[in-house]
Amino acid sequence: MWSKILDNFKKHPAQEKVIKLLLERGFQVNEQGRVVSGNIEIPHTQVGREIDVDRRVVDSTCEVILDDRTLSSIFRNIHTIPFLKDVAPELGLGVLIITPGDASRTGILGSVATAVAQRGLSIRQAVTDDPYLTENPQLTIITDRKIPGDLVDELMKLPGVKSVAVF
């Protein structure tokens, strides 16, 4: 589905940058064509500045979104989530970052979750990057406590796991 969305913007690289940012951040486009997160409006100049495009590109991208039934439905209903990765150490939580060899391979999340659970760790959050939106997708697992060092060796042996980082 994401590739179909991005295909709509292949001939307009600046608009494609806007779409990717909106998807990556979970920003919505409301009925007035404004970029929002919930009820908080994000000025188009700020969006443009973030990705080095003119505000008018953000304006026109939002117009395209509103004119397309599928895009409009997606961008009116997408939501952000609180991602704990950067605050987990302050909260006494563990962080595992798994880089897959092939992010489209099935079962990576399941095998990592099983290995983590077998160690008695509770998964508080699991976030995967979408391989269509991210050049180097990763799986981030937040656990209820620090990660034991020998778990890294075990995870490296799992099919599809290219590298493991612990924070």
Greater model confidence, 97 or 24 = 97
Q: Which amino acid is located at 9 in the chain? A: F
Q: Which tokens hold the place of 35?
A: 């970029």
Q: Region 64-82: what's the mean pLDDT?
A: 94
Phi, psi angles (nearest 5°) of residue 147: -90, 125
Q: Region 64-92: what's the mean pLDDT?
A: 94
Which SS3 state, helix, strand or coil, does residue 78 take? Answer: coil
Greater model confidence, 33 or 131 = 33
Beta bridge mates, 163: 99
Residue-range domains of the chain with CATH? 2-77 (no CATH), 88-166 (3.30.70.260)
pLDDT band at 3 (very low <50, low <70, confident <90, very high): confident
CB within 8 Å of 38: residues ≥ 6 apart:
28
Q: Can you give the pLDDT at residue 72?
A: 95
pLDDT band at 57 (very low <50, low <70, confident <90, very high): very high
Maximal C-alpha separation, the chain: 53
Q: Can you give the pLDDT at residue 137?
A: 93
**How far is it, in rounded angstroms, from Cα 78 to Cα 72?**
10
User: Is the pLDDT at 60 greater than 80, yes or no?
Assistant: yes
Instruction: Please give the torsion angle defined by the CA atoms of residues 25, 30, 34 and 35, in that order, rounded to the nearest 10 degrees.
Output: -10
